[in-house]
Structure 1
């Protein structure tokens, strides 16, 4: 049974079609990369997986059943099942909140078991941040540290799936490497979906990938095989545009 699947999904924003018959399945314990240029539909797929929007046609399934976004109880359970990490750590954290509240507020909102303070300490440690971070505001942290706090916030729910939308694109190179190392470590315990326009990042984190072009899956398979011998002209152009790849596929 797939943890999350899209089956022949079509989606439009108003009169603008975004996804055209997209199908994919996310299996337990795998890391899946979704690669494509801006406007290809990558983030829309994440919104569908999160239940933030519904497909025009087709089906989104999660944890063995159709994701009914109209059911409050179903969505409450889904928020515990899957959690996102967004692109920009400078806007995804409320600057008026100390880290303690940033981490404990979702614990209460999702009615999670256990002690909120203890869970906050647990996820801070998982994110490689010192315990005294709890009493500081986001402005006290670098971009990379803020993204680690955002990842810690996602981990508070103990999700089975982590959805990362361009999680390192707003960071400098050295900081990117540290966040990628953290995501690599987390992917040993969680199922990861990584959305990116950067082939090198996908290669570093995801043994399997799909390639999107204008809302259509044009190539799918093992990352190493696609990078070695891309079959679709669009994938070939993406690879040709990459000047260097500092990391290899797992």
Structure 2
């Protein structure tokens, strides 16, 4: 059973201007999926639909074996345990007035999760490599990379089966990107990752399967290694030749 299955999904914020056109994809457990495309290709919109923040105009989204009905409060409560987001900007994803312990405790209470909240906070801080005394500090006390780790920890509180990450390193400096990518790689041993990115190298490093979006259409899909070595669509070839790539560690050190 697929974790997610999208069948001919179309969507537009304005009915006269569709953003997604008949997109189909499947996410299998343990097989990270990359969604690659330029700005405006519909990547983030697709992730919003998978999070249940909007419903498709046409087509069907199935998550965890059943249709995702965003009008059902009970269904959405279960979905928020099943799939959690990690957004692009670590500075805006945390309340600057709230201590980290409270920020991590919030989703535990909101989702009605079992287990001792203190133990769960300790678990997720350890998972993202942050000290336990982080709970007493506010976001301004942390670097951008540390804030993104806190955002990941907040998502992990729910013990989700899927992390939906929207350009999770694009707001970070190059050295910090590498560390956050390593973190996501480690976490993907336990949780399946959907990664939206415009960066070919990040997708290649984390995702064995790939969907390429152009103007809201899936123009190519399959094994990442096959697509990168032998792209079939002109748009994919253009992306591979022109989009920025994450420098290798030795390149970064030489700067």
CA spacing shift, 1:149–1:61, aligned 2, 3 Å: same
CA deviation profile, 1:136-187 (whole Å, cap 9, x unmatched): 0000000000000000000000000000000000001100000000000000
- Secondary structure (helix, strand or coil) at the match of 1:128 reads coil
Match of 1:48 in 2: 49
Give the TM-score, by structure 1 length.
0.97
Deviation at 1:246, TM superposition (A): 4.0
Q: CA RMSD in A?
A: 1.0
Alpha-carbon separation, structure 2, partners of 1:132 and 1:115? 18
Q: Secondary structure at the match of 1:17?
A: coil
Q: Following TM superposition, by how much is the alpha carbon of 1:242 offset from its aligned partner in structure 2, in angstroms? A: 4.1
Q: Which residue of 1 aligns with 2:251?
A: none
Task: Give me the whole-angstrom Cα distance separating, in 2, the residues matched to 1:244 and 1:116.
Answer: 39
Q: Aligned partners of 2:86, 2:41: CA distance in 1, in Å? A: 19
**Could you list the runs of 4 or more consecutive aligned residues of structure 1 that deviate by over 2 angstroms after TM superposition?**
242-247
Match of 2:4 in 1: 4
C-alpha distance in structure 1 between counterparts of 2:112 and 2:75, whole Å: 14
What residue number does 2:162 align with? 161
1:212 and 1:108 map into 2 onto residues whose CA distance is 37
1:67 aligns with 2:55: no
How do residues 153-232 of structure 1 correspond to structure 2 at under 5 angstroms?
153-232=154-233
**Structure 2 unaligned runs (5+)?**
249-255
Gapped runs of 5+ residues in structure 1?
none
Q: Distance in 2 between matches of 1:105 and 1:244?
A: 36
Q: 1:159 aligns to what SS in structure 2? A: coil
Partner of 1:116: 117
Q: Which deviations, in whole Å up to 9, do the C-alpha atoms of 1:92-150 show, x marking residues without a partner?
A: 00101000001001100000000111101110000100011000000000000000000
Moved more, 238-247 or 180-189: 238-247
**Alpha-carbon separation, structure 2, partners of 1:129 and 1:243:** 30
Distance (Å, rounded) in 1 between the aligned partners of 2:229 and 2:188: 23
